[in-house]
C-alpha cells in the first residue's frame, strides 16, 4: 500500500495518471469509515487535502467557482452565506463541527451519495463540476455528472477540482429531514432557489432517488402561480404550495432502506416542498 500526499494540483494529476485506481482522500469523512470498517482496502491512497489549488474560491461574474477542497465550515461563512445562502445552510447541517472542519464540497460531489447534503443545492442552482486530468479540463453539468448511487461520469484519472455555482439574486431555502439536527444523514432533503432576474425557480431533491433530482414539472407549474416583482415573489393562491408539494413528490424516486421507507420519503419531500415554497414567498432566505 502507498500513500501519496500531493502538494500541488500538477502532482495530484500526475499521481492519478500513474495510479488511476487510487483512492482519492479529501476530508476522509466517508473514505475513512469504509477503511476503518474493512469495507475498503485501497492499494494506493492519494491525499489531496494539501493541494493549494483546491482550497481556492473566486467569483467570475455570475459564476462562483468553489475549489473542491473548501470545507463545510468555510462554506457556512462569508462570502458563501451571502452569495449562495442555501449552500451555506446545507453545509451547516452536515455532521458536526468536527466533520465540517474536515469534509469538503469536492468530497461530497466525488462520493456522490444520494444523500449528499450539498447535492440538492447544486441541482437547484444549476451547478457544474470542473474535472481535471493530465489530458485536460472539462466542465460537466450536474445532470450529466451524477449517474447512480455513488456513481458519476468522472473518469478514473480525473480529479474533481472545483464546482461552478451560478450566483442568483433571490431567496433560497434548504430543508433536510432526519432524526436530529446534528450528525444526521438525510432521509429527504430539498433546495428551492428563486432567480428574481430570470424569474425562475428551481427545486433540487436529495435522498429520494438514486441521484440528486430536479423537480422540473413542479417548477414549470409553479412559475405560473407566482406573482413577481423586482425584489419578491408571491404565491397567487394559498393552495398553490400544497399542489407544488404534490408535484414535487411525483418527481421523487425513493426507496425503502434502514433510514426510512419510500412512502415516508415521498411524504416528507412533499412537506419540505410546500414549506420551502411558503418560505421563499415570505421573503425568507
Partner 1 sequence: MTGHESIDETVVDADTDVSYRLRVNGIDHDVASAWLGESLLYVLRERLGLPGSKNACEQGECGSCSVFVDGLLVCSCLVLGAAAIDRTIVTVEGVGDESGAPSLVQRAFVEAGAVQCGFCTPGLVMTVHDLLHRSRVASDLEIREAISGNLCRCTGYGRILDAIERAFAAADEGPP
Residues 6+ apart with CB under 8 A from 282: none
Residues 78-107 that bind partner 1 (CB under 8 A): 95-99, 101-102
Residue corresponding to grid cell 451560478: 166
Q: x/- binding map, residues 15-44, to partner 1, per CB under 8 A?
A: x---------x-xxx--xx-xxx---xx--
Q: How far is CA 49 from CA 24, 73, 91, 130, 242, in A?
A: 10, 15, 18, 17, 44
Q: Residue 26 Cβ, how far from partner 1 at the closest point, in Å? A: 10
Q: Specify the DSSP element, H or E, that contains 31.
A: helix 31-36
| Closer by beta carbon to partner 1, 28 or else 210 | 28
Binding status of residue 188 toward partner 1 by CB under 8 A: no
Binding status of residue 134 toward partner 1 by CB under 8 A: no
Q: What is the total count of residues that contact partner 1 (CB under 8 A)?
A: 35
DSSP state of 265: H
| Closer by beta carbon to partner 1, 44 or else 243 | 44
Binding status of residue 77 toward partner 1 by CB under 8 A: no
Binding status of residue 11 toward partner 1 by CB under 8 A: yes
Binding status of residue 6 toward partner 1 by CB under 8 A: yes
| Closer by beta carbon to partner 1, 32 or else 62 | 32
Residues 6+ apart with CB under 8 A from 73: 91, 97, 100, 101
In whole angstroms, what is the distance from residue 258 CA to residue 213 CA? 21
Q: Let me know how long the chain is.
A: 285
In whole angstroms, what is the distance from residue 93 CA to residue 103 CA? 12
| Closer by beta carbon to partner 1, 54 or else 213 | 54
Binding site for partner 1 (CB under 8 A): 1-8, 11, 15, 25, 27-29, 32-33, 35-37, 41-42, 45, 47, 49, 73, 95-99, 101-102, 181-183
Amino acid at each position: 500500500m502507498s500513500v501519496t500526499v500531493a502538494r500541488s494540483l500538477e502532482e495530484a494529476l500526475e499521481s492519478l495518471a500513474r495510479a488511476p485506481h487510487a483512492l482519492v482522500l479529501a476530508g476522509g469523512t466517508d473514505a475513512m469509515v469504509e477503511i476503518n470498517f474493512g469495507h475498503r482496502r485501497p492499494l494506493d491512497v492519494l491525499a489531496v487535502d494539501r493541494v493549494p489549488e483546491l482550497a481556492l474560491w473566486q467569483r467570475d461574474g455570475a459564476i462562483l467557482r468553489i475549489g473542491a477542497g473548501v470545507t463545510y465550515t468555510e462554506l457556512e461563512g462569508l462570502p458563501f452565506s451571502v452569495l449562495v445562502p442555501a449552500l451555506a445552510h446545507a453545509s451547516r447541517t452536515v455532521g458536526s463541527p468536527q466533520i465540517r472542519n474536515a469534509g469538503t464540497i469536492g468530497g461530497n460531489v466525488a462520493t456522490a451519495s444520494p444523500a449528499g447534503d450539498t447535492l440538492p443545492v447544486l441541482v437547484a442552482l444549476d451547478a457544474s463540476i470542473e474535472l481535471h486530468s493530465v489530458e485536460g479540463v472539462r466542465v460537466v453539468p450536474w445532470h450529466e455528472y451524477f449517474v447512480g448511487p455513488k456513481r458519476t461520469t468522472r473518469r478514473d484519472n480525473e480529479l474533481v477540482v472545483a464546482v461552478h455555482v451560478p450566483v442568483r439574486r433571490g431567496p433560497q431555502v434548504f430543508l433536510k429531514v432526519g432524526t436530529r439536527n446534528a450528525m444526521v444523514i438525510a432521509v429527504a432533503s430539498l433546495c428551492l432557489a428563486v432567480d428574481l432576474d430570470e424569474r425562475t425557480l428551481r427545486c433540487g431533491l436529495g435522498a429520494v432517488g438514486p441521484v440528486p433530482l430536479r423537480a422540473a414539472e413542479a417548477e414549470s407549474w409553479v412559475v405560473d402561480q407566482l406573482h413577481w416583482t423586482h425584489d419578491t415573489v408571491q404565491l397567487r393562491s394559498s393552495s398553490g404550495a400544497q399542489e407544488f408539494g404534490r408535484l414535487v413528490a411525483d418527481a421523487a424516486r425513493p426507496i425503502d432502506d434502514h433510514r426510512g421507507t419510500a412512502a415516508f420519503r415521498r411524504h416528507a419531500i412533499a412537506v419540505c416542498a410546500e414549506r420551502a415554497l411558503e418560505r421563499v414567498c415570505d421573503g425568507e432566505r
